[in-house]
Structure 1
Amino acid sequence: MSNFDTLWDYNHPEETEQKFLRLQKQAEDSGNIGYLAELLTQIARSQGLQAKYELAHETLDRAESLLNKDLIVARIRYFLERGRVFNSSSRPLDAIPQFLHAWELGIQFGEDDYAVDAAHMLGIAEVTSEKRMEWNMKALEYAEKHPKASRWLGSLYNNIGWAKVENGNLEEALELFKRALDFRMEQGNSNSVFVAKWCVAKVLRLIGQVEESFAIQKELLAETKQTTNPDGYVLEEIAECFLLLNRNEEAKQYFSLCYDRLIHDDYLVSNNPERIARIKEIAGK
């Protein structure tokens, strides 16, 4: 049976879902219940990323019906994906117990990678910033001690960095984002390196190093122009830099460009309407 996890493209969940669905009949015919249950959890994840939450829960119901006490990995993955669907559909209080089950099973059976995945999700889903930080630090400590979970270090540096930004600890956040960038560059994934550079540049702007931030964002803009449409978040940061540099007309132009892109970002529009409204106002839309 093929390793379906290698088929994941998180930027295109609809295409990933179709790949997984094509494997489903083969998995059903194989009689390998553990493989099928795990595959179903990933089909559900791809559906959740498309905001098809009801369908994702139905898929997870089928995975749940296959589980038994011996299918450790399938059980952990089931709890992880049930939690992710709850969390993505704005039901964190339902998500938290699922992630806790996944964390406990991962620790108990030495499934280090999944354990850290669960802890990092608790660092996202928990209600208070203190609890989120507690879980992020717990995940980081575990990942640093367990090589099988080391791939999570970049994400954890990033998540803890944003928690530091939220609490106003910008210098500490910058150091974490730089560590994340170093880690991503070692991994060699261009998309992850791009995001890590953007995070460093944003915090540089927030601490007043505007020219340095501006230079990085312009490099990122040049990258996106070579491969696809300009990234809305890069355009936003360039606009913010122009504003701080008192280049107001250029700021207005770039706020307008970023608005035209970010207005189609459903998550941002739903969760940060004030930010969208500010961009629209400055852009003169």
Structure 2
Amino acid sequence: MPPRAASRPSSTCRTRPCWHSRATTSARSPSTRSNTPNACAGRPLQNGGMRTLAAFCLCMGLWATPAQAIDLAPLWDFARPEVSEQRFRAALADAPGADALILLTQIARSQGLRQDFDGARLTLQAIAGRVGTASAEAQVRYHLERGRTYASATHPPPLLTPEALQQARQAFERAFELARAAQLDGLAIDAIHMFAFVDQAPADQLKWGLAALDVSLGSQQPQARRWEPSIRNNVGYALHQLGRYDEALSQFQQALALREQGTNRQATFVAKWMVAWTLRSLGRNDEALRIQLQLEQQADASGTPDPHVFEELEALYRGQGDQAKAQHYAQRQAEASRR
């Protein structure tokens, strides 16, 4: 089953890894370092469209945190993008020029999250003529959101045509280049991790995840450091897809440790689920069952029964040969999915 993950530092995505958010602890293990492309080792990025990340990663720790414009976090509710759009439009009333452009990019993003990609492109098209002379952050966000109208977590596979993927790649490349030049580390990571929607093979997704992780770990900027648990989730998912379950578990456990230091209960819930999911893949079913039962209790207590938990419990009990409990959770999963 497809796992859940955080799409960006402030949100969780229920159906896909966070190769996007709209979005992950310590250094990677030696085995991961030796088996995976490392952008900070000076290897060129795919297709030659971007220069190496080597110099960028080496100097990240020397950069001071640049001033950023409007704080978007309080306005975003990724579970309710229509509510977010209302907040952005309300904030437009007294926003200065650069902030107004940034708010419009986020309106486009909220439209994309609802799969209104044509509407998102129209929103961005309306500001295209003003972006070139706007702030660096506004320019980066414009290109990021333009890329996301062609490839993102919400795109059905038929829309991910070669032409669309090329449009997305070019936009993400431009966003990264601008973010790097402006020392906007968090937005640079956002651009890097979006390439996993363009290059969808697990090995490529792992490469991009590790490149983003290098930037996050090498940065002193809070906006970049906040990406770490989401990125580790993505790296873990790619490793899981490659059958490297022990390494995946390590990444998920590190992501969980970071989530437990924060206040986002839903993100912590999902991180625990990812750990349990991987334990089942490793055949450590008793440990997986214990975690999933705890998650069931937590979700039921909050009045939000979780179909992903029930699906895992069904699989675990079926593996034990307990068909009655497996059927019980199959029924619960079906009921919760209809909500």
Could you tell me the TM-score, scaled by structure 1's length?
0.86
Alignment match, 1:75: 139
State the 1:25 CA deviation: 3.0
Partner residue of 1:139 out of 197, 212, 229: 212
Alpha-carbon shift at residue 5 of structure 1 (Å) = 3.3
**8 A contact 2:203–2:238 mirrored in 1:** no
Mapped to 2, the partners of 1:10 and 1:108 lie a distance apart of: 28
- Give the distance between the partners of 2:94 and 2:142, measured in 1 at CA: 20
Equivalent residue of 1:110, what SS? coil
Match of 2:71 in 1: 3
Distance, in Å, in 2 between the alignment partners of 1:67 and 1:102 is 12
Uncovered stretches (5+) of structure 2, i.e. residues with no partner: 1-68
Following TM superposition, by how much is the alpha carbon of 1:95 offset from its aligned partner in structure 2, in angstroms?
1.7
2:106 counterpart residue number: 42
CA distance in 1 between counterparts of 2:294 and 2:112 reads: 33
Counterpart Cα distance in 2 of 1:10 and 1:96: 24
* Bigger mean CA offset, 99-108 vs 251-260: 251-260
User: Number of residues paired by the alignment?
Assistant: 260
The answer to whether the Cα contact below 8 Å between 1:33 and 1:66 also exists between their aligned partners in 2 is no
Say if 1:59 and 1:153 are closer, same or farther in 2 by CA, change over 3 A.
same
1:103 counterpart residue number: 176
User: Alpha-carbon deviations, 1:20-74, whole Å to 9, x = none?
Assistant: 12222333xxxx2211110001111111111222211111112323212452110
Question: How many Å separate the matches in 2 of 1:65 and 1:12?
Answer: 30
After superposition, the C-alpha distances for 1:235-278 in whole angstroms (9 at most, x for unaligned) are 111111111111112212212221334467xxxxxxxxxxxxxx
* RMSD (Å), alpha carbons: 1.8
Q: Which runs of structure 2 are paired with 1:230-269 in the superposition (5 Å)?
A: 230-262=305-337
8 Å CA contact 2:70–2:99 kept in 1: the answer is no
CA contact (8 A) 2:203 2:242 kept: no
Q: Is the 8 A contact 2:98 2:134 kept in 1?
A: no
Q: Any conservation in 1 of the 2:102–2:138 contact (CA below 8 Å)?
A: yes
Residue type of the alignment partner of 1:67: V
Identity of aligned residues (%): 33
Q: Residue 21 of structure 1: which of 89, 96, 113 is its match?
A: 89
Instruction: Please tell me whether residue 221 in structure 1 is matched to residue 324 in structure 2.
Output: no
Structure 1: unaligned runs, 5 residues or longer? 265-285
Alignment correspondent of 1:116: 189
Q: Decide which moves more: 226-235 or 127-136.
A: 127-136
Structure 1 residues 263 and 165, CA gap change in structure 2 (3 angstroms): farther
Residue by residue over 1:120-178, the C-alpha shift from the partner in whole angstroms, topping out at 9 and shown as x without a partner, is 11134323333222211111111100021111110111001000010000000000000
Q: Could you tell me how far 1:4 is from its partner in structure 2?
A: 3.8
Secondary structure (helix, strand or coil) at the match of 1:101 reads: helix
Corresponding residue number in structure 2 for 1:126: 199
- Residues 179 and 188, structure 2, Cα contact 8 Å, conserved in 1: yes
Moved over 4 A (4+): none
Change (3 A) 1:86 1:184: same
Q: Match of 2:77, as an amino acid?
A: D
| Structure 1 partner of 2:42 | none
Aligned partners of 1:234, 1:65: CA distance in 2, in Å? 48
What residue in structure 2 maps to residue 53 of structure 1?
117
From the two aligned structures, give the one with the greater helix fraction.
Answer: 1
Would you say 1:181 and 2:241 are equivalent positions?
no
